[in-house]
Amino acid sequence: MKDNDDPGLAALRAFLESWSPDDFERLGWPEDMKDQNVIFALESERLRRMIHERSAARSLWARLSAEGDKSRATCLVTGDRAPVARLHPAVKGVWGAQSSGASIVSFNLDAFTSYGQMTTIDNRYDFVLLFDVVNGNPNGDPDAGNLPRLDPETNHGLVSDVCLKRKIRNYVELAKGDEDRFSIYVKDGSILNDQHRKAYKALRPDSDKVAKEKSLNPQNDEEALKLRMFMYDNFFDVRTFGAVMSTGINCGQVRTRPSSLKSFIEL
């Protein structure tokens, strides 16, 4: 990064060169941050993109990757360089699964092309979520009298992606309460336009129309960006799942970094 004049990379380099472990306590950062992966952003861009998303950073990473051994890569968990796994083995010891092991959920998204280093998806990227439900209904089906949702072909229990998102929203609402930046956008009994109106009230505090009009639109591109940033910064689920917020009181659309929650099926 020494010879790169990109503002984001220059700021990151300056931070790394001046950083001392003693600064951790001085800045009052929480203990939970230790031994965690972190990402960086310029303060003026923190709601729009991270430093690693800047074109200069992507170009630098692509060049460094091309110069190295393509059969090895840096593990995002351990930080070690190791051969890239072609496939992941089945998970053994899962209750109710075959003794040979259970396959786990996989996904293919453009995000995993590693900034062009993989022109096709050659590897599987897998994760598994295991949870138990005892004397309960993990996902009621409103079309079947709220009986547990079932896969029609296998008759196995099914938990939809919508249900998973609802559980995440409920947990965050319980865990964070009224903490700043952790409000929930989609919740029971909420009117989405009322949530949008909060952004307009924050940007136009002296306007009488904001509280009364049934339809509001940004006055220019700058205000449109500020409206989206307000929603992104204040609502946890907007940041996590994205949202289309153009119903009447128009706050535009927020698209999150590529992530995917699929339906989970009983093993």
Q: What's the confidence (pLDDT) of residue 23?
A: 82
Residue 236 inside a domain? The answer is yes
Domain termination site, one of 39, 72, 105:
72
Count of Cβ atoms closer than 10 Å to residue 91 Cβ? 15
Cβ 49 vs Cβ 41: under 8 Å: yes
pLDDT of residue 267: 46
- Last residue in a domain, options 15, 38, 72: 72
CA separation for the pair 260, 34 (Å, rounded) = 27
Which tens digits make up the pLDDT trace of 121-153?
455 556 566 778 888 888 988 888 999 988 888
Domain encompassing residue 3: 1-72
Place of tokens 């009983």: 266
Judge contact between 13 and 2, C-beta under 8 A.
Answer: yes
Last residue of a domain, one of 24, 41, 72: 72
Interatomic CA distance for residues 38 and 34, integer angstroms: 10
Q: Within a domain: residue 122?
A: no
Do the strands 140-141 and 147-148 form a parallel or antiparallel pair, or are they unpaired? antiparallel
Please state, in angstroms and rounded to a whole number, the distance separating the CA atoms of residues 228 and 221.
Answer: 11
Residues of the chain with pLDDT > 70, as a percent, come to 73
Q: What is the pLDDT of residue 113?
A: 47
Q: Could you tell me if residue 28 is left (phi over 0), alpha (psi between -120 and 50 degrees) or otherwise beta?
A: left
Q: Are 197 and 249 in contact (CB under 8 A)?
A: yes
3-class SS at 232? helix
Q: What is the pLDDT of residue 198?
A: 94
Domain assignment of residue 87, yes or no: no
Q: Using CA atoms, how far apart are residues 32 and 15, in angstroms rounded to an integer? A: 21
C-alpha–C-alpha distance, residues 36 and 53, integer Å: 20
Asked whether residue 238 is domain-assigned, the answer is yes
Estimate to the nearest angstrom the gap between the alpha carbon of 76 and the chain centroid: 16
**pLDDT attached to residue 88:** 59
**φ/ψ of residue 43, rounded to 5:** -55, -35
Q: Which residues in the chain land under pLDDT 50?
A: 105-121, 258-259, 267
Angstrom distance (rounded) from CA 199 to CA 37 = 31
The residue written with tokens 């949530």 in the block is 195
Do the domain assignments include residue 30?
Answer: yes
> Residue 194 has what pLDDT?
93
Cα distance between residue 236 and residue 227, in whole Å = 15
d(CA 266, CA 1) in angstroms, rounded, equals 48
Is residue 199 in some structural domain?
yes
- Does a structural domain hold residue 156? no
Residue 25 token pair = 């306590």
122, with CB counted inside 10 A (0-12, 13-18, 19+), is: exposed
Count of structural domains within the chain: 2
| 260, part of any domain | no
> Can you give the pLDDT at residue 65?
67
